[in-house]
Amino acid sequence: MQPHPPGLRNRRSRRTAAFGAMFLAICGTACGLGVASARRGVAIPLTVRQLPRGTYKAELYVRFGNLEPLPIAFDTGSAGLHVFAAAGLDAPGSGVTCTQQPLTFTVGNPGRITYEGVTCYAVLRFQGFTTPAPVPIAYLTSAACTSNNPHCRLPNLKNPRAHGGVYGVFGAGITGPMPVQNPLLAASVSTYSVRLTRSGGELLLGTAAGADATPFALLPGTGSAGKWRKGPACLFVDGRPTGTCLTISFDTGNGVPWISDSDAAAIPQEEGFVSAGTRIGFGPPGAMQAATEVVAGTSFASKVKVRPANRAPLTNTGIEAFFGHVVTYDDVNGRISVARDDR
């Protein structure tokens, strides 16, 4: 993962959420879960592994149609299920229906690689849950360098090693445009929670935020920008509010947190990074304490980049802010809530 803000543009439908970083390196009774199951949630296991540079990556296993289960990166910083050619969704007898509807994504901020493919549909099977109907999938079968990056190194879409051993990206975010819908929302799953540690975790379907959770309100989307937009948060330094507030992205797909703001004077810095040992916390506007935080270090995985904003101020929590917490996504009310995991 890159320590700078990732991005994703859809040439057919405007920009989408931060999908680039992952490329480069359910619901209640409506889903048939039943009232009792909805109350306790259906748990899908998440694996968490540490990459060679020290960052962490969350994954889950998905069975597409009749195919064998495949590891897919779990990314709350993007929306939609994107699968590479290595998965073989178009193989005879796969149980996956692929259309001729084209898809084009340009990855990077600014653009670096353009991926092309088609829309497919498949029933998804996880450990403990099967979608009640086929969901849309962006099946990506080719890639090209963008005009501003003509000598890029293109990944081999037929080799999962080119994407860190995964066969695609499971975009579980609920903000921004969704040319390919978040697969959970497509399965009528409107609330779910993510529980992570550095050794594993789970995706809990149909759960609501607890009374002790801190809600971060999202902003209403406009037009084709999607139902919700990323909302605001304020930064804390070593437990103290700084008065610096900016848009926040809760992003499991980003291994390294970063802050992009034109005025970050309240944050101790050394050569463009948060000073080692500093705790950077995130809380909603008006909060007296942070809901979660990360600790800046000196390694690639622990450095927290601070850069001047050349657009609207934004911070990305990275996966580190998820560890030891339960993060609940509520697409009905437009909230992302954070609570400590006291298990």
DSSP string for 127-145: TTEE-SS-EEEEEEEEEEE
Q: Beta 292-295 vs 232-237: how paired, if at all?
A: unpaired
Task: Specify the DSSP element, H or E, that contains 186.
Answer: helix 183-186
CA distance 69 to 87: 10
* Whole-structure pTM value: 0.87
> In this structure, are residues 106 and 146 in contact, taking their beta carbons and an 8 Å threshold?
yes
Q: Fold match between 8-205 and 214-340? A: yes
Among 215, 206, 127, 138, smallest CA distance to 177 is for 138
Domain 214-340 is of which CATH architecture? Beta Barrel (2.40)
- 323-327: list long-range contacts, CB under 8 Å, 24+ apart: 323/56, 323/196, 323/197, 323/198, 324/197, 325/195, 325/196, 325/291, 325/292, 326/193, 326/194, 326/195, 326/204, 326/210, 326/213, 327/76, 327/193, 327/194, 327/195, 327/250
Among 300, 217, 202, smallest CA distance to 258 is for 300
Dihedral-angle region of residue 80 (phi above 0 means left; psi in -120 to 50 means alpha; beta otherwise): left
pLDDT given for residue 177 in this prediction: 83
pLDDT given for residue 109 in this prediction: 62
pLDDT given for residue 8 in this prediction: 36
Q: Beta 70-75 vs 56-64: how paired, if at all?
A: antiparallel
Class of domain 8-205: mainly beta
CA distance 49 to 59: 8
> In this structure, are residues 16 and 179 in contact, taking their beta carbons and an 8 Å threshold?
yes
For the stretch 114-152, what's the b/e string if a residue is b when 16 or more beta carbons lie within 10 angstroms of its beta carbon? bbebbbbbbbbbbeebebeebbbbbbbbebeebeeeeeb
CA distance 57 to 214: 24
Query: For each successive 10 residues of the chain (343 residues), what is the average pLDDT?
Result: 36 38 38 36 93 96 97 95 96 96 79 90 96 96 92 92 94 90 95 97 95 97 88 97 95 95 87 96 97 96 89 92 98 97 84
CA distance 95 to 122: 7
Query: What are the structural domain ranges in the chain?
Result: 8-205, 214-340
